[in-house]
Structure 1
């Protein structure tokens, strides 16, 4: 599994008119279903009075079906949310949410026309979406004496580790997150600086 994948760096809005209906596609970073609900509520406030607010999101790595969701928001079943989600799943981008706002223009599009319309804005917006790379890190712990703390922190930092907690007792216990690819190198370097006294333990 890749330990890095792109995620949205900022919100992007794409607008188009199809047979007098105004479609506004909003793409944004979405780290959890709760985060998506917050974004959706904000979008409803920013674009009041729309006919539909159709939705799709992926809260995990690109293409993952276990962290996905969608809603047709009153459009015919399968005509909006599912095609939107299919575009997101094929984008190669993770942690992404999409809401397509429709202001009805008086002309019915039919199910096929709706499928094309709701997918269209997202397809056109994705190439313009700014992204950044997310590094996947895995939890680990280690214990060291106070004299070695600075050296241990330096080793973790050099290998893209992030310390999330420090417990101070007879020794210092560090909880951290580290890319899996760096685990062996970290333990090798820790053994070198501590004469074998410090070892990291990982919850893989």
Structure 2
């Protein structure tokens, strides 16, 4: 919460995967803080370096004085899938365009200073079959590429279900193809991509 010349700016941060989720959060805040004059917001969805969607709203503040400065702060952070709402109670003293930009920017920056983040890594599921004498090599590669062995079973071959960070998938598969004398096949199971 930030007080600027008797105006109160309360900032709310949500982990959000899509616009529909963001709008549900916004509606909840509008219903909870019905007497607030403004519910300004911005979101940045997807990878923060290459977002799939961004949007903002000044919600009645002068154009470009709330949503845009909020989004500007968000675009300089390394956090994606985020929705931020700043609820403003007007204190009776006008802040002017410059004052509003500073207030909304500061409100969002303060939220970043306090929030805790988690790194989300997309995992690609793979199934591997190999000879018994190749199992340790495969386990070594999975570990080296920060993967996880979800399941391992033994019959004529060793069958493994693994989850591998998507960004390492091509390199991992390339190394598998260079293992000599192996009977390794890779195929993605039908399940959807996991995340951790």
**TM (normalized to structure 2)?**
0.70
Residues 1-204 of structure 1 aligned to structure 2 (within 5 Å): 15-64=1-50, 66-137=52-123, 139=124, 159-160=146-147, 178-185=165-172, 188=175, 196-200=182-186
Take 1:157 and 1:31, find their aligned partners in 2: how far apart are those partners?
29
Alignment check: 8 A CA contact 1:52 1:102 kept: yes
Take 1:162 and 1:101, find their aligned partners in 2: how far apart are those partners?
46
Change (3 A) 1:111 1:93: same
Alignment check: 8 A CA contact 1:23 1:101 kept: yes
Alignment check: 8 A CA contact 2:147 2:165 kept: yes
Q: Larger Rg: 1 or 2?
A: 2
Take 2:94 and 2:149, find their aligned partners in 1: how far apart are those partners?
53
Gaps of 5+ in 2: 151-158, 189-196
SS of residue paired to 2:9: strand
* RMSD, aligned CA: 3.5
Alignment check: 8 A CA contact 1:56 1:97 kept: yes
Gaps of 5+ in 1: 1-14, 164-171
SS of residue paired to 2:119: strand
Take 1:63 and 1:74, find their aligned partners in 2: how far apart are those partners?
29
Cα offset for 1:175? 10
**TM (normalized to structure 1)?**
0.68
**What is the number of residues matched between the two proteins?**
174
Specify which structure has the bigger relative contact order, considering alpha-carbon pairs within 8 angstroms and separated by 6 or more residues: 1
SS of residue paired to 2:185: coil
